Structure formats: structure tokens, C-alpha cells
Amino acid sequence: MIQFQNTKSFAQEMDEKDPLKAFREQFYIPVINGRESIYFTGNSLGLQPKTTQDYVLNELEDWANFGVEGHFHGNNPWFNYHELFPQQLSPILGALPEEIVVMNQLTVNLHLLMTSFYRPSKERYKIICEAKAFPSDQYAIESQVKLHGYSPVDAIIEVNPRVGEHTIQIEDILNTIAANADSTALVLFGGVNYYTGQAFDMELISKAAHHAGALCGFDLAHAVGNIELKLHEWEVDFACWCSYKYLNSGPGGVAGAFIHQQHTINKELPRLAGWWGHEKATRFKMEKGFRPIATAEGWQLSNAPILSMAAHKASLDLFEDAGMDRLLTKGKLLSEFLFFIIHDINAGFTEDPIEIITPENIKEKGCQVSMLFIKKGKEIFESLKQHGVLADWREPNVIRVAAVPLYNTFTDVFQFGLIVKAILDKS
Ligand SMILES: *Cc1c(COP(=O)(O)O)cnc(C)c1O
């Protein structure tokens, strides 16, 4: 157990000892007022690796040099470019390579997966999800329910935090699933809630869903590259994620999907099909009759967006070098240090100016810490920006920050604390 101290020398010492310290150099850090910013929005848009431009340029050059031949004769032939990813994503997701496919965008994948795994019947048609899920997920769920002819009011059950609390108790999730065991078709949660930063116990939720006879899926937008995942072992049925948050693969970057092996081998499973999901050996025979690949690739529709995938590859190569274990260890330390600093700031006031709404329990959070400012939240947020801190504002009074292990430092966290304290002392 490390004894944290709210001092510059302590933060510098932690940075010096950090086995991942060299990775910061591999990223472009945005500059504000002539100085490197304290970039705490890696949970929203991860920073650009310095290698990304070369990776993308290589594909542009192959296109220039080879034209259509680049599909088979480029340096990384585009025909199987997407096959570079499952192996690298496997330790990040805790999944078998055959269960992973990189394709499309996040919300598109959510719809594709719900098409296969939300198959309501007259008795079983409900979806259990978290209250205040990310809006795109809410809209996806609502429209899927309507598509099947059900009423969202009846078919969607949201699990809420208890009165006076910000996060959802696992007991309430499990009880809701049990109470609706006969009518629930699907349990669909985020891995980490985008607003509170609460990480859900996916293993328990998955078990409870299956015990109730339902299927279970997760939106991992805020979980992938951030917390430990063991999708295969937890027997999660499906999951999807985007690559532009913790995975640093660029705005609107190509997304991903996980489908458990027990489902990928079932070629009869209903799905929306496209030619890229068809068996490779006969894909170019262009014949009638869709025969899916028996891996997660069987859910692919279109040929791959190579430029976006090149950016993804640049970032995943860094993840491979850093190693997920070391990233998780440093990520935990950074967020614990941030908690310590905020508690220390609060201790200087008679009434706490900051309420942390992210759970403090290490198993219930990732890098993100969401802070509710009791007074003058918006002013403080604007002032942070002027002082070179890039954080994220959510109405009515929450500031979200994430210190991410690939490029943030303990000094970033210390400096953030100094700035917040100075602003609070003045206001
Ligand atoms: C970021 C995020 C999205 C964004 O969806 P896109 O399809 O990538 O635009 C959706 N859901 C969650 C939970 C998110 O965090």
C-alpha cells in the first residue's frame, strides 16, 4: 500500500519510478497557452500516437502505388487487414481471437448485435438496462423494442440508483433481474457508466441474466482499455465498443464487437448479413445463399475501412508494448492518487466543495473520476481550461476527468489538484 502525499516531490518520484513513463513521449500532447495541457479527457477522445500518421500514410502510399492490387499485394494487404486485430485485442478484452471482430461504429454494432441477441417473444420481451445510459444506447434500445412491436414503457426496465445515491447498487441490479426472470429477453449494461464512472460487476450480471434465462450484453465504450475484462470466462453473450476513447484510435475510429464462441459457431443464428461475413473461400464466387464465417467475423457487412484501421493498428501496437497488466496497475494508482488529492482539498474546507460520485472501491471504477461541484461548477470548469486543464463538463454540475496510464503522469494529477484548490480558495 503506497502512502500518498499531496506534494510535487512525491508526484515526481512516482513518475520517476513509473515503468510506463516512456510512453508519454509517444503521444502528441495538446498545447494550451504555450504549455502542454493537463489532458484529462482520454475517456472522451484519446490522444494521437506519434506513429499514427506513418501508419495511415503507408496505406495511402500502397493505394497510390498499387491501386486495386493493394487488396492483395500491399505491405499489409487490405483483404485481410482486419485479421491483424483479434490477437492484439484478446488480452484487452479477455476474449478468444475468434470472438473478436473490428468493424463499423459502436452504435451500428450495438444494433447488429441486438438483431441477433434481442429476439423477443410474447412471454420474454423485456430489456433490463442501467438508468441514464449513454443517449445513443437509450435510443438504440428504444428503437429495437419498437421495431419488434413492443412499447418502450412496458419493455424497458431501468435500474436506478437509490434515492440520494449516484451509483447503482449491484444488489438492485440482481434483484431486478430475478424479479423479471420470466419476462426478460436481454440484460444490457455499460461496462463503465459514462457519467459516474461506475464499473459494473459484469460477471455477476452475466450469471444472473443467464440464471433468469435471458441473454447478456455490454457496451464497453468506457471499459475497453480501461478496466480488466474477461468476456469469455464471464460468458458474456456479446459486447461492443468504440476505439477513440481509451484506445486512442482517432475521432470516429473503427469500432469492435465480441460474440461468445458458443454463438459464433451457430451458423443458424439470425443476423443481418453482408458479403464480408460470408465464408472466405467462396466469397468471390458471388453466389446466392449467405454462409457465415464461424467466428465473430461472420457479423461483418462491408469491406474494411483501411485508413481508420491503420490508425487503430498504430495505437494497439503501443498497447501491446505497454501490456494490459502494467496499464491496469498504473491506471489504478493514478485514480487512487486523484481520490487522495480531492479528499485532501476537501479537508481544507468546513464543508466539502467537491463530492466524488465515482465509487472509491477499486473494483467499481476505472480511470475516470466524476466530481460534483457543490457551487460554481461551470465557473470552475472554465477556469480549469484557462489554466491548461482539459476536462469534461456534464450538466448540471459534474466535471469528469480521467488520468490515463499511457500518457498521463502523477505530476498531472498533482498539478490538477493545485489548480482546483487555487480556484476554490478564490471563489
Ligand atoms: C461514446 C459512447 C457512444 C458513442 O457511440 P458512437 O456510435 O461511437 O457515436 C455510445 N455509447 C456509449 C456508452 C459511449 O460511451
Domains along the chain? 8-48+324-426 (3.90.1150.10), 55-320 (3.40.640.10)
CB 192 within 8 A of CB 222: yes
DSSP states along 231-267 = TTTTT--EEEE-SSSTT---TT---EEEE-HHHHT-T
First to last CA, the chain: 35
Q: What is the pLDDT of residue 364?
A: 97
The span from the CA of 170 to the CA of 320, in Å, is 32
Q: What is the whole-number distance in angstroms between the Cα of residue 107 and the centre of ligand 1?
A: 6
Looking at residue 285, what is its pLDDT? 83
pLDDT of residue 11: 98
Compute φ and ψ for 401, nearest 5 degrees: -130, 150
| Ligand 1 pocket test, candidate residues 136, 193, 246, most atoms within 8 A of CB | 136
Q: Point out the residues of the chain with pLDDT beneath 50.
A: none
Query: What is the pLDDT, as a whole number, of residue 246?
Result: 98
Name the phi and psi angles at 31, rounded to 5.
Answer: -105, 135
| Separation between Cα atoms, residue 177 and residue 126, nearest integer Å | 10
Residue 74 confidence (pLDDT): 86
Residue 8 C-alpha to ligand 1 middle, in angstroms? 36
Torsion region of 72: left, alpha or beta (phi above 0 gives left; psi -120 to 50 gives alpha) = alpha
The pLDDT value recorded for residue 161 is 98
pTM of the complete model: 0.97
What's the pLDDT at 61? 97
Give just the sign of the alpha carbon dihedral 229, 238, 102, 281: positive
What sections of 39-150 are H helices per DSSP?
Answer: 52-66, 70-73, 85-93, 106-117, 135-147
Kindly give, in sequence order, each residue whose CB lies less than 8 Å from that of residue 158, ignoring residues fewer than 6 positions away.
Answer: 129, 130, 131, 133
How many helices and strands (H and E) does the chain possess? 14, 15
Ligand 1 centroid to 137 CA: how many Å?
7
Burial (Cβ within 10 Å: 0-12, 13-18, ≥19) of residue 201: middle
Upstream peptide bond of 49 is cis (omega within 30 degrees of 0): no
Ligand 1 binding pocket, CB closer than 6 Å: 105-107, 134, 136-137, 190, 194, 219, 221-222, 242
Looking at ligand 1, which atom is closest to the CA of residue 194?
A: 15
**Dist. CA 409 → ligand 1 center (Å):** 26
Per-residue confidence (pLDDT) for residue 27, from 0 to 100: 98
Going by alpha carbons, the residue nearest to atom 8 of ligand 1 is 106
Distance of alpha carbon 348 from alpha carbon 425, whole angstroms: 10
Q: 3-state DSSP: the chain helix, strand, coil percent, rounded to 5?
A: 45, 15, 40
Rounded-to-10 torsion of CA 378, 382, 383, 387: 150
In the DSSP assignment, the letter for residue 157 is E
Q: What's residue 72's pLDDT?
A: 93
Ligand 1 closest atom vs CA 190 = 13
> And the C-alpha cell for 344?
485532501
The per-residue pLDDT for 427 is 73
Q: How far is ligand 1, taken at its centre, from the CA of residue 357, in Å?
A: 21
Closest-CA residue, ligand 1 atom 1, reads 221
- Angle, CA of 311, 335 and 354, to the nearest 5°: 120
How deeply is 251 buried, as exposed, middle or buried, from its count of CB atoms within 10 A (0-12, 13-18, 19+)?
exposed
Rounded CA separation 367/336 (Å): 9
Which set of grid coordinates corresponds to residue 87? Answer: 490477437
> Which ligand 1 atom is at minimum distance from the Cα of 219?
13
| Smallest CA separation from ligand 1 atom 13, residue | 134
Nearest residue by C-alpha to atom 14 in ligand 1: 221
- HSE-CB at 307 with a 13 A cutoff on CA atoms is 7
- Rounded to 10 deg, the angle between the 306-322 and 52-66 helix axes is 140
Distance 244 CA to ligand 1 centre (A): 10
Q: What's the CA-to-centroid distance between 62 and ligand 1, angstroms?
A: 32
Cα of 299 to ligand 1 centre, how many Å?
19
